[in-house]
Amino acid sequence: MTELDTGGIVQVSDGGVSVEIKGEAMTLNIGPQHPSTHGVLRLVAEVDGERISKLDPVVGYMHRGKEKLAEVRTYAQITALINRIDWVSGFANEVGFVIGVERLMGIEPPPRAQYIRLILTELTRISNHLVFASSYPLELGAATPLMYAFREREHIMDVIESVTGGRFHPNFNRVGGVKPAAGGGKTQKKVSLDLPAGFYAAAANAMDRAEVACDELDELVTGNEIIQVRAKNVGVISREDVLAYGISGPNARASGIEFDLRKHEDILPYSDFDWNVAVRHHGDSFDRYLVRMDEIRESIKIVRQAIANVPSGPLQAKVPRVLKVPPGSVYVRTENPKGEMGYYIVSQGGRVPYRVKIRSASFSNISMMSKVAVGQLIPDLVATMGSLDFVLGDVDR
Amino acid sequence: MITIAAVPFALWLAVKVLVVLGLMLGTSLVLIYAELKWSAHIQSRIGPWYVGGRWGWAHPIAEAVKFLQKEDLVPEAADDKVFRLAPYVMLAGTVATFVVIPIGPSTVARDLDLGIFYLLAISSLSTLGVLMAGWGSGNKYSLIGGVRAGAQLIAYELPLVLALVAVGIQAGTLSLTGIVAAQAAPLFTIGGTDIALPYVLSGQILGFTVFVIASLAELNRTPFDLPLAESELTMGYVTEYSGIRFTMFFLGEYAGMVSMAAIVATVYLGGFYLPGLSEDVLDFAGPFILLAKVFFVLFLFIWFRWTWPRVREDQLQTLAWKWLIPITLFNIVATATAKVVL
Amino acid sequence: MTDSPSDTTEAPSPLDTFAAELATKVGAARWTADYGTIHIYVNRDQWVAAATTARDEADLGFFSWLSAVDWSKDVEVGEPAADVEDLEERYEILCRLASVNTSAAVILSTSVAKDDAWLDTLVPVYAGANWHEREAAEMFGVNFVGHPNLVKLYLPSGFEGHPLRKSFALGARTVKPWPGTVDVEELPSTTNVEAGEGS
């Protein structure tokens, strides 16, 4: 227990000025089991009453050693590892890795596969942001938006499941495209795994429902004075901090940085569609919430345009059965719903990579918690952490 | 009616105590069921369905039994006596308020002349119970929760008291039966019929609003449930409680809701009185009328909980000191002026 | 991996131009721009200066990540590097910097010898390097000189060894050997193997 030296006149709240009484700081251990830390995150906080003077995040409770494991998995097997990094947006994690391997091998996935990848990535983005939109108000105390958002999210999950077979861990990307019509041989029936019948109607319906959810959440949450008062000017992250700490995704765009990898990287055919990048300028928690709500609407636009125009063709380029990637190294970054997700693949010509470095968005996003949290009250800490939308699997890999 | 003199006082007292306790527990159980169902429908789901065969009516009973049979833990770092005593202190504060609530024109456990004064004093006892729970648990989370609760309850006592002062001025008495009678007294006549209005409609709308807000804070209900903030403090001052003691807190919260709702119904909504009914009918139907009004207020409480998020501690204090208290002071001045002038 | 393009009949791509310019500014030994990824190779003593130059003069102010690659001749798990005989054993430290106004990005790369594994910290230049350097230090055993708080990030405090080194055995593989050339495992047999009956 350290003595907190705060003698003198101190401003303790917006309208109040008072003389601080010298007291001892209390060490409060928040987590690792805690309802609002998005997983097993441990925050060792030194608090004076309710004001945090020092915050030390302790991570690694969920470290699964994916980078080491990737050195003993073939390229096709690694997708099963990596879609568990950010488990809320399973499909989006695989895309970057698979595209990296394609670049090293010089393979171009067919347009139909690219469109399917894009549609599923955007569906995952909407699903992720709906989870955020329900858990963030829950942390602030409103229990009802959760039910509304999850109800509409089920439609999206159903669509993803009908295409890939999995809700959270689709394992649908293959090097060269997506999972093609498979089966064959004497004992297995040929099972067509192209887009299922009714996919377009189901996707269109899911988008309509997602828009309903957005409207409902706007009424219930965005306009609510209590949410605004809890989230505005709380956890402000400046533009300089965003750059220095590598904060990406909606968190960066809420601080005025108009940078979206979907526009700046040429990985999936986003340029075929008419959509905008959602940007806000205050950098507080409320703006991070608003950016994600805007992003849901933009993604709905993209999906609606995409499902009207899916080109026909094969689902996977010609790829040798035993994948050997020529020597080389490549870094591919994609716009994961949580931020920039990248894979640095070093291949030495074998069937397994020599080194895979996984750049996960949440790791960088929360690395500045100790700076943002100083001087905040504990409820503000909860509001800030919730607005960063991180997941421990993404932090710990 | 059996004359009081014919039955020994002690026996009569025991009967009253049991009736009050029974009413309180019964209403609390019904309220728990109502909360589960109403919150479910607000969230577009169904709520309890299977327990009891149909509609899930036995769910609160099942919950109570479940809690009662849990292991009774006392943490090692806890202050034993304080820890054990806290829930009972809190419950005592809420149960004792039922003593003065009139259920019918002549049915009240004890009609004290100081009705409102007694109510406010005794309901502050539960604050003490909360502080005891926070301190006695020997847990930093509970301590923070208990201290938050203490600050909140103290801050919101004042708007509560001041709102009721205005009612006292308007009724001319502090006794609750007197207040109900004052609301029953006709205000004006339209075309031959006497119109009597409850105080919420006849000048105390500000007081009603402030009282409802302040009572939500007194009850530690969202939007003021920071002491119990689950997503921040894992249950706040109740964290270390299990078994029977937790049941006491749980029931105490709902009994508190019922008692606050009963106060609101009596003081602002006219209590057991409904215009056009004679005294004899009121003797019989009074409890049901009061119950209906109480459940209307409880519906408001539940509705607010599931619609709004929670307010931060300093914002809560700002609301109390900078907004509610000035409004209630203005309300008192306005009521007194109207009383003198009209 | 190619050096600066010697084929002058093709106009260099914007990527190559950018890489060449930056390499000149930081005084890099060489650079590559294969597969859309720019690598700029600097010496250890140029590390901090190169990062500072990239941030200030090339608009690469966004710190993406910092990590390392263990180039070893003997590997405990996985497959060895190509050209093992010619391999120079070292730790290659990589730092990815990007711009938020264009899509420009580079990977700065430097190498440290295994018996002399230290590097100057980048925390004064990019505050976000803090956690990344902690992770690289515990995973590879590289010391970052001047780091404010070089304690373990992921691993528990008593952990011995540096997991991402090629000499660190993977626990699962010590129990079960590397499956070898089988790319797709066969489905498990449905007959009772323990009783010794064949299929």
Nearby residues of B217 by Cβ (< 8 Å), 6 or more positions away: B152, B153, B155, B156, B224, B316, B320
Q: Is A142 helix (H, G, I), strand (E, B) or coil?
A: coil
Q: Nearest 5°: phi and psi at B207?
A: -60, -40
pLDDT in tens, A28-42: 787 777 766 577 888
pLDDT in tens, A233-258: 888 999 999 999 999 999 999 998 98
- Running DSSP on this structure, what letter comes out for residue C51? H
Q: Give the residue from chain B lying closest to A38, CA to CA.
A: B231
> Is C35 in contact with A104 (Cβ distance < 8 A)?
yes
Q: Give the residue from chain C lying closest to A327, CA to CA.
A: C82
Between CA B45 and CA B54, with CA B49 as vertex, the angle to 5 degrees is: 140
Tokens 């906080």, located at residue: A45
Q: Quick check: C81 and C42 in contact, CB under 8 A? A: no
> Is B307 in contact with A380 (Cβ distance < 8 A)?
no
How do the residues of chain C divide into helix, strand and coil, expressed in percent and rounded to 5?
25, 20, 55
Q: What is the pTM of this model?
A: 0.84
- Running DSSP on this structure, what letter comes out for residue B35? H
Q: What does the alpha-carbon distance between residue A135 and residue A386 come to, in Å, rounded to a whole number? A: 8
- CA separation (Å) from A263 to A131, A267, C14? 24, 9, 18
CB-based contact, A44 to chain B, within 8 Å: no
How do the residues of chain B divide into helix, strand and coil, expressed in percent and rounded to 5?
70, 0, 30
Q: Quick check: A202 and A119 in contact, CB under 8 A? A: no
β-partners of residue C69 are: C92
Q: Quick check: B88 and B252 in contact, CB under 8 A? A: no
> Is C163 in contact with A104 (Cβ distance < 8 A)?
no
Q: Nearest 5°: phi and psi at B314?
A: -75, -30
> Is B308 in contact with A380 (Cβ distance < 8 A)?
no
Subunits with 3+ Cβ pairs within 8 Å of B are A
> Is A396 in contact with C96 (Cβ distance < 8 A)?
no
The highest-confidence range among A41-55, B183-197, C50-64, by mean pLDDT, is C50-64
Q: Percent of chain A having pLDDT more than 70? A: 89
Looking at this predicted complex, what is its ipTM?
0.85
Does A319 have pLDDT greater than 60?
yes
β-partners of residue A173 are: A178
Q: Which two tokens stand for residue B196?
A: 């009597």
pLDDT number for residue C96: 93
Residue among B208, B184, B194 nearest B274 (CA): B184
Q: pLDDT tens digits, chain C, 199 residues: what are they?
A: 444 444 445 677 888 888 888 888 888 888 888 888 899 999 888 899 999 988 888 888 899 999 999 988 888 777 787 777 788 888 999 999 999 888 888 999 999 998 888 899 999 999 989 999 999 999 999 999 899 888 888 888 888 888 888 888 877 767 666 665 555 555 544 444 333 333 3
- Would residue B124 be called left, alpha or beta, if left means φ above 0 and alpha means ψ between -120 and 50 degrees? alpha
Residues of C in contact with A69 (CB under 8 A): 170
The CA radius of gyration of chain C, in Å to the nearest whole number, is 22
pLDDT in tens, B42-67: 888 888 888 887 888 888 888 888 88
Measured between CB atoms, which of C65, C100, C170 is closest to A359?
A: C65
Subunits with 3+ Cβ pairs within 8 Å of A are B, C
CB-based contact, A34 to chain B, within 8 Å: yes
Subunits with 3+ Cβ pairs within 8 Å of C are A
For range A317-340, the mean pLDDT: 88
- CA separation (Å) from A216 to A155, A210, A231, B302, C176? 16, 10, 19, 20, 53
- Running DSSP on this structure, what letter comes out for residue B104? B
Q: Nearest 5°: phi and psi at B113?
A: -65, -25
Residues of B in contact with A382 (CB under 8 A): 231-232
Q: Do A and C touch, counting CB pairs below 8 Å (3 needed)?
A: yes
pLDDT number for residue A304: 93
Residues of A in contact with B230 (CB under 8 A): 35
Q: Quick check: B270 and B181 in contact, CB under 8 A? A: no
pLDDT number for residue C5: 46
pLDDT in tens, A142-164: 888 888 889 889 999 998 888 88
Q: What does the alpha-carbon distance between residue B58 and residue B330 come to, in Å, rounded to a whole number? A: 47
